Amino acid sequence: MSEEENFIYGTFPEHFKWCAATSAFQIEGGATEDGRGRSIWDTFCHISGNIIDNSTADISCDSYHRYMEDVSLLKNLGVKFYRFSISWPRIIAEPTKGVKVNEAGIRYYNNLINSLIAVGISPIVTLYHFDLPQDIQDEGGFLNEDLLIKCFKEYADVCFQNFGDRVKYWATFNEPRQICTLGYGLGIMAPAIHSPKTGVYQAAHSILKAHATVWHLYNDNYRINQNGKVFIVLCSEYAMAKDPGNDSNVEAAELAMQFKLGWFAHPIYINGDYPSVMKNKVLLLSQQEGLKNSRLPEFSEQDKKFIKGTSDIFGMNFYTSRLAEYQQRDNPPSQPCLDLDEIVEFSVDPKWNDAGSMWLYLVPSSMRKILNWIKREYNSPEVFLTETGFMDKTGSLDDEHRVNSFKLYLNEVLKAVTLDECNVVGFTAWSLLDNFEWVFGYSEKFGLVNVDFSDEKRTRKPKKSYYYYAEMIKNNGFLQPPN
């Protein structure tokens, strides 16, 4: 039976949280205005050849000046939540030189937050969405654990002090797996460090400790008065067995899920440590390379106690799926790759609808599957879907494919909630606006709203998907058609 035939009607729970999302670097522009410092992405996208269309985010959607247009679009959309990120270098330009707070940055986010609240929209604020101050990177970035933790804590403290009276949802890091694998493993995103065997794990270790530090900072100093939630936003494809009847494929898919999602979720939601299957595999590979100790760093017992339980909800970005089986090749890969890619081979089903992108395939059933996997693995946590979306190359207003993807993915969320009793409390559309999509520049569009990047006014026009999502929000789900 196909997804469409299996479609169900019904509504989400009464207080289901409908949300749309963006991030600072991708929409704000104002790159050098009002005392903003440089980030690693400013550096990265000004190096020729790094971005597919040779663009930069210097202006992007110009939301630094046009945020009231965004607020108006959000209000008309009907969302009660808006997930955006704060630009760390806009708040503290050079964190290694001390906490010199940029008042213009504070003013900008105060204006945005107050404008949202005035129209009944609650902010969900991400502290770190890929845009590390270049100043910290110059001292080692995520590989300089002590410095990163110190600076991130100071920055979070400034944000809690200035905005925490109105912000009740704080995400520490967005997609730590992507920060590590793409930024420090494969080196294809900023800061472009190619260290798939060691740097990738050191960066993750730093992130987990920095995240826990900021959770405890909030818990100890702010929670009693501000009464908000602090969490981390994780991401993973859903890995499914290439042949569900093949035990080896099933095992490979489960291993992949532990490497992709368990890497960060297991320490936070289970026991303060990495999944045992991951520890065993990395140790084995390390020994095969002639090393005595594992390349995966170890947490002390004190670290484990400190990290365990440091998330008030389970933030999850979900887009797509992969088929998994164990690698069959006899020869080692020609150049160092991520450990997981050395162990598991990933592929896609030719029947999956692709978005014309290198990575995004529409696999609606995997949404329900991953929500059930999270429920089983982490004891039914409260899950907030913090991003889901679909891209195209054109930014067309008649984006039927995006309407279809939201319809099918949301229907799978509804099944997970109503049929499987998964504790999903909210859904977020990525993205409110067409924007700067990292290495893809402006060549990939995810927006519910088209932005004309050739027009200096950056004119915004809602697409068909904007109106579809607005209808979903108004109905709080799928109403049975009259006939």
Residue 433 has pLDDT above 80, yes or no: yes
d(CA 378, CA 372): 10
Whole-number Cα distances in Å, 443 to 274, 303, 356, 462:
37, 42, 11, 19
| pLDDT score, position 5 | 61
- What is the residue-wise DSSP string for 12-68? --TT-EEEEE--HHHH---TTSTT---BHHHHHHTSTTSSTT---SSSTT-HHHHHH
Task: Please list the residues that pair with 314 across neighbouring strands.
Answer: 383
Residue 319 has pLDDT above 60, yes or no: yes
Q: Could you give the residue numbers annotated as active site?
A: 175, 387
- What is the residue-wise DSSP string for 246-274? -HHHHHHHHHHHIIIIIHHHHIIIIISS-
Whole-number Cα distances in Å, 296 to 274, 282, 421:
9, 6, 35
| pLDDT score, position 244 | 98
Q: Average of pLDDT values for 345-365?
A: 94
Quick one: residue 259, left, alpha or beta (phi over 0 = left, psi -120 to 50 = alpha)? alpha
Whole-number Cα distances in Å, 250 to 61, 247, 423:
44, 5, 25
The closest alpha carbon to 313, from 170, 173, 413, belongs to 170
Residue 2 has pLDDT above 70, yes or no: no
Task: Name the band, by pLDDT with cuts 50, 70 and 90, for residue 376.
Answer: very high
Task: Name the band, by pLDDT with cuts 50, 70 and 90, for residue 335.
Answer: confident
In the chain, the percentage of residues whose pLDDT exceeds 70 is 99
List, for residues 45-92, the tens digit of each pLDDT value.
999 999 999 999 999 999 999 999 999 999 999 999 999 999 999 999
Q: Average of pLDDT values for 435-440?
A: 98
Q: Average of pLDDT values for 441-448?
A: 98
Task: Name the band, by pLDDT with cuts 50, 70 and 90, for residue 333.
Answer: confident
Average pLDDT, the chain: 97
CB of 217 within 8 A of CB of 346? no
Q: Average of pLDDT values for 277-292?
A: 98
| pLDDT score, position 163 | 99
CB of 355 within 8 A of CB of 315? no
CB of 64 within 8 A of CB of 106? no
Task: Count each helix (H run) and each strand (E run) in the chain, helices first.
Answer: 18, 17
Whole-number Cα distances in Å, 213 to 168, 194, 443:
18, 27, 37
Indicate the pTM of the whole model.
Answer: 0.98
| pLDDT score, position 482 | 86
Residue 101 has pLDDT above 90, yes or no: yes
Q: Which domains does the chain have, with CATH numbers?
A: 10-238+312-321+357-474 (3.20.20.80)
d(CA 349, CA 358): 14
Neighbour count for residue 205 (Cβ, 10 Å): 20
Cis-peptide, bond into residue 244, ω within 30° of zero: no
Residue 93 has pLDDT above 70, yes or no: yes
Amino acid identity, position 247: D
Task: Name the band, by pLDDT with cuts 50, 70 and 90, for residue 379.
Answer: very high
d(CA 382, CA 393): 34
Residue 329 has pLDDT above 90, yes or no: no
d(CA 252, CA 244): 11
| pLDDT score, position 483 | 76
Residue 1 has pLDDT above 70, yes or no: no
Residue 281 has pLDDT above 70, yes or no: yes
List, for residues 162-221, the tens digit of each pLDDT value.
999 999 999 999 999 999 999 999 999 999 999 999 999 999 999 999 999 999 999 999
Residue 4 has pLDDT above 70, yes or no: no
At 241, phi and psi to the nearest 5? -60, 130
Q: Average of pLDDT values for 310-337?
A: 92
Amino acid identity, position 305: K
Fill in the DSSP letter of residue 138: T
Looking up tokens 């997930």 gives 83
Residue 3 has pLDDT above 80, yes or no: no
